[in-house]
């Protein structure tokens, strides 16, 4: 028996679905056995199939919630609080979670690297708003740590 795609290769393997002879180069291992390329039809999960309209919805929702969280964050900076150092991490985690959740809801809980990037950039925008008005918050070591927490919490929702 010769392979259907490679007639010069002799094989004893056959597709488990259609019975077409296949060589070891052509076979695709699936959970139900060996298949030819036509019968395997490997597709990604629908959860990870994100089209352009979903990306546009994600960008719109991400920018909107980033602006809202950024101005709330700015308002909190205006309130003099003791232990503001520790409170920033909770604000950052909450803002990142809110951004990730809103973007996830806007795209019907789809996931993927592109959506995680949109969410991370939205979190960076949220962090940038208080830094535009308060340069003392800035990008020192603690500011970068707060930024990392915000981005991490936003991205982890869409990975």
Question: Which tens digits make up the pLDDT trace of 119-131?
Answer: 999 999 998 888 7
- Residue 142 is predicted with a pLDDT of 79
Question: Which tens digits make up the pLDDT trace of 77-95?
Answer: 777 777 777 788 888 899 9
Provide CB contacts within 8 A for 118, sequence distance 6+.
Answer: 55, 58, 59, 62, 103, 158
- Say if residues 95 and 149 touch (Cβ distance below 8 Å): no
Give the distance, in angstroms, between the CA of residue 60 and the centroid of all CA atoms in the same chain: 16
- Say if residues 86 and 58 touch (Cβ distance below 8 Å): no
Rounded Cα–Cα distance for residues 98 and 34 (Å): 45
Question: Model's pTM, two decimal places?
Answer: 0.73
Confidence tier at 140 by pLDDT (50, 70, 90): confident
User: Is the pLDDT confidence value at 76 over 60?
Assistant: yes
Question: Which tens digits make up the pLDDT trace of 4-62?
Answer: 888 898 999 999 899 999 999 988 888 888 999 888 887 778 889 999 999 999 999 99
Average pLDDT over residues 63-70: 94
- Residue 101 is predicted with a pLDDT of 96
């Amino acid at each position: 028996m010769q392979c259907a795609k490679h007639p010069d290769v002799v094989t004893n393997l056959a597709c488990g679905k259609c019975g077409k002879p296949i060589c070891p180069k052509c076979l695709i291992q699936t959970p139900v056995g060996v298949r030819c390329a036509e019968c395997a039809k490997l597709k990604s999960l629908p959860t990870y199939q994100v089209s352009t309209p979903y990306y546009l919805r994600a960008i719109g929702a991400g920018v909107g919630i980033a602006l809202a969280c950024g101005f709330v964050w700015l308002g909190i900076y205006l309130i003099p609080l003791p232990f503001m150092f520790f409170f920033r991490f909770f604000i950052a985690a909450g803002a990142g979670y809110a951004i990730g959740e809103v973007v996830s809801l806007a795209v019907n809980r789809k996931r993927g690297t592109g959506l995680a990037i949109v969410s991370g950039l939205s979190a960076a925008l949220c962090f940038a708003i208080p830094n535009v008005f308060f340069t003392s918050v800035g990008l020192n070591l603690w500011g970068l740590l707060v930024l990392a927490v915000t981005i991490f919490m936003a991205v982890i929702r869409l990975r």
